[in-house]
Structure 1
Amino acid sequence: MRAFVLAGPGQGSVEDVPPPVAGPGEAVIDVERVGVCGTDVEFFSGEMAYLHQGHAVYPMRLGHEWCGVVSSVGPGVEDAWVGRRVMGDTMLGCGSCRRCVRGHQHTCEARQEVGIRGGRAGALAEQLAVPVSSLHGLPDSVDPVAGALVEPGGNSLRAARATQAGPGDRVLVLGPGAIGLLVAMFLRAAGAEVHLLGRPGDDFAGRLGFGDVWTEATLPSMPFDAVVDASNAAHLPALALDVVEPGGRLVYIGLSGAPSLLDTRTLVLKDVTAVGILSASPGLADCIDAYARGAVDPRPLVAATVGLDGVAEVLAGVRPAGGGPKIHVDPSR
């Protein structure tokens, strides 16, 4: 089968590789769509921390935001899975450690992450193999474009819920990328008043119906009951603490390339609750439901869909001007 193989920093190409075979408890998926994520870009540039921590090594196959159709199953798996449209959890815990037993497999120290960590091949290929236990069925109302946005959507739904915001609450989202915009969409669906902070020229949020979009220079002085940092800027976590209301909530889902510093004295004196969001795992089922009901439509975030031959250019930063923040890959092209 054809797959995009990353051999080293800046060294990626489409290769013919052996197709996967489903092992015990696994399924092979015919991939329909894959989203390109900032994590994939960091692997392409060589900056991803897992490379330096020994959790990932080249060569590797990227792709953890995906959907597809089950084509075969391994020993111990019911044949009824074959033909089902599915997406899959990125985080694959060991299943037996204390964290996994307590329902936190996404924090398992020995976890694999599809297309990211532990040698588990990703979805930038015509097929991939994953444990059936990681799969979530997709209803017909969730098409392939939305299906490949469930993984980032699950992260974003968890972040939105962590604000505990609803009608009458005002929330500021820092960073109007794919995650930030999805957080904003889930918050809007919950009835919150949503504001976004980005860089000058970040105007895509306006096309999604968000009228309160600011920069650091134009951010008005007003009370924010919660702030979500979905950026990669090292200084914005501290800004979030500065502008949140006393008794409010901070949600950190973005990761910067350098350590972020904030004054915990302010955290204490403002009686603020701070929450970190790592994974989509606990939010996948509810995200699928929200997409299926039409509560949130993530599809406008996709600016373009390319084939496997276009992946290297996308990872290198080539993208259409003025579109949404997300690029999708159709491996059948």
Structure 2
Amino acid sequence: MMRALVLTGPGKAEVQRVPVPVATAGQVVVDVARAGVCGTDVELFTGEMSYLHSGVSSYPVRPGHEWSGTVRSVGEGVDESWIGRRVTGDTMIGCGHCRRCVAGRHHVCPERHELGIRDGLAGALAERLAFPAAYLHALPDTVDATAGALVEPAGNAQRCVDAAALTSGERLLILGTGSIGLLTAMLARARGIEVHLLAENPEFARSFGFPSTWTRATLPDLPWDAVVDASNGPELPALAVSLVEPGRRVVYIGLSGTPSMLDTRDAVLKDVTTVGILGASAGLAPAIAAFASGSVDPRPLVAATVGLSEAAGVLAGHRPASASRGPKILIDPTI
């Protein structure tokens, strides 16, 4: 048996003893070194996650989709050279044979699993994880366990930067300074893009090296070549369209708890391209490369690393007493 965090109902979470996973055909078993806690995990805990209401997720849930670890065993058909390698993996696991998967869009496969989110694959907030080998990504030696657990959110951020379609010297405005917003800022800056952020607390983002962080009241009247909405404010999708330069792009990755109101006439009359981002899949490899090269160091975003026994408290909103200013809490399942 091993320890794993189990969500048993809205607002209910506990560490349970569960069977140790065995690698079936096409799978590996990973010793989890670090797992991140994100907003999706919190929504699963509170019961607000839309998947719980649409029926693709149900309690009990074993969460955790941001992770790093070491492969300890492989199943039938998996190259044994994976054993002992440090890895992370994709959250989106497609069926592999539908039209979308064949076209390279497995992250929107109608039958997909989402690790630790949709029913079907138990997540990484556990001592060990069974995971399909086809969706593994090897971690270079220069990417430690902490950075490895940030690859998944960074993959989402990487897709935001790619979707913004900016070149060096152009100006990007990011709405929101959570983990995704700050990772988007880091990755964009590494490309030579001029980065600005909109925040309720500008000093927070400025402490991570982004002096051009503004409130709504202080936001300068500049031409914004692209806008990324990484917030959960229902009014900000419309603001993004109003701010972006005509003929340019708005990228949406944040989700509000209530429906957002956006007048499509505003987008049409400005000839704005809007892009939605679901999942990190296509961004994982470039995010790993950015971490490995040192052009982006995500580790300052980690406020604290705590044991599995404290994970339920983190989901409930309790910030560890030792936490620094960063937005991300990691779990070390070995303690």
TM-score range, shorter chain: over 0.9
SS at match of 1:128: strand
Task: Give, as a single letter, the amino acid of the residue that structure 2 aligns with 1:212.
Answer: S
Q: Give the 3-state SS of the residue equivalent to 2:218 in structure 1.
A: coil
Could you say which residue in structure 2 is the equivalent of 1:96?
97
2:262 equivalent in structure 1:
262
Question: Where does residue 8 of structure 2 map in the other structure?
Answer: 7
Which aligned runs of 4 or more in structure 1 are off by greater than 4 angstroms? none
SS at match of 1:292: helix
- Please name the residue that 2:142 is paired with: 141
Structure 2 equivalent of residue 177 of structure 1:
178
1:117 aligns with 2:86: no
Residues 47-196 of structure 1 mapped to structure 2, 5 A cutoff: 47-196=48-197
Q: Deviations over 1:47-102 (max 9, x none)?
A: 00000011111111100000100001111112111100000100000011100010
Are the equivalent residues in 1 in contact too, given 2:304–2:324 (CA < 8 A)?
no
- In the other structure, the counterpart of 2:212 is 212
After superposition, what is the alpha-carbon deviation per residue over 1:144-176, rounded to whole angstroms, capped at 9, x for unaligned?
000000000001001011111232211110010
SS for the counterpart of 2:180 is helix
8 Å CA contact retained: 1:111, 1:118: no
Question: Which whole-Å CA distance do the structure 1 matches of 2:236 and 2:119 have between them?
Answer: 31
Letter in 2 for 1:126: E
Counterpart code for 2:279: S
User: Post-superposition shift, 1:260?
Assistant: 1.2
Bigger mean CA offset, 122-131 vs 317-326: 317-326
- Partner AA of 1:21 in structure 2: V
Relative distance call for 1:230 and 1:9 in structure 2 (3 A) is: same
* Superimposed CA distance per residue, residues 245-276 of structure 1 (whole angstroms, 9 cap, x where no aligned partner): 11121011111111112121111111111111
Q: Secondary structure at the match of 2:239?
A: helix
8 Å Cα contact 1:204-1:322 kept in structure 2: no
Contact 1:64 1:90 in 2 (8 A): yes
Query: Aligned ranges for residues 191-270 of structure 1 at < 5 Å?
Result: 191-199=192-200, 201-270=201-270
Matched length = 332
SS in structure 2 at match of 1:288? helix
Rounded Cα–Cα distance in structure 1 between residues aligned with 2:190 and 2:66:
23
Deviations 1:222-262 (A, max 9, x none): 11111000001111000000111111210111111111121
Is the CA contact 2:174–2:197 (under 8 Å) kept in the aligned structure 1? Answer: yes
Q: How does 1:272-291 map to 2 (within 5 A)?
A: 272-291=272-291
> 1:118 and 1:11 mapped to 2: Cα distance?
18
Corresponding residue of 2:304: 304
Deviation at 1:221, TM superposition (A): 1.6
TM-score scaled by length of structure 2: 0.97
In structure 2, how many angstroms separate the alpha carbons of the residues matched to 1:35 and 1:84? 20
Residues of 1 paired with 2:324 and 2:131: CA distance? 35
- Cα distance in 1, alignment partners of residues 61 and 265 from structure 2: 43
2:70, 2:288 → 1: CA distance? 16
Q: How many Å separate the matches in 2 of 1:215 and 1:45?
A: 29
Q: How far did residue 202 of structure 1 move? A: 4.6
Partner residue in 2 for 1:332? 334
> Quick one: which amino acid aligns to residue 126 of structure 2?
A
Question: Cα offset for 1:119?
Answer: 2.5
Q: Deviations over 1:101-131 (max 9, x none)?
A: 1000000010001000123100000001010
Q: Contact conserved, 1:229 with 1:236, CA < 8 A, in 2?
A: yes
Q: Distance in 1 between matches of 2:14 and 2:40?
A: 18
Q: Tell me which amino acid in the other structure corresponds to 1:274.
A: T
Between the aligned partners of 1:287 and 1:160, the Cα distance in structure 2 is 11
Does the 8 A contact of 2:63 with 2:123 survive in 1? yes
How far is 1:322 from its partner?
5.6
* Identical aligned residues as a percent: 63
Distance 2:63 2:166 in 1: 35
Unaligned runs of at least 5 residues, structure 2: none
Whether contact under 8 Å (1:154, 1:282) holds in the other structure is yes
Aligned partners of 1:168, 1:64: CA distance in 2, in Å? 34
Structure 1: segments with no counterpart, 5+ residues: none
* Deviation of the 1:329 alpha carbon: 0.3
Structure-1 residue corresponding to 2:325 = 323
Shift of 1:292: 0.2
User: SS at the partner of 2:265?
Assistant: helix
> How far apart are 1:177 and its partner, in Å?
0.2
CA contact (8 A) 1:41 1:316 kept: yes
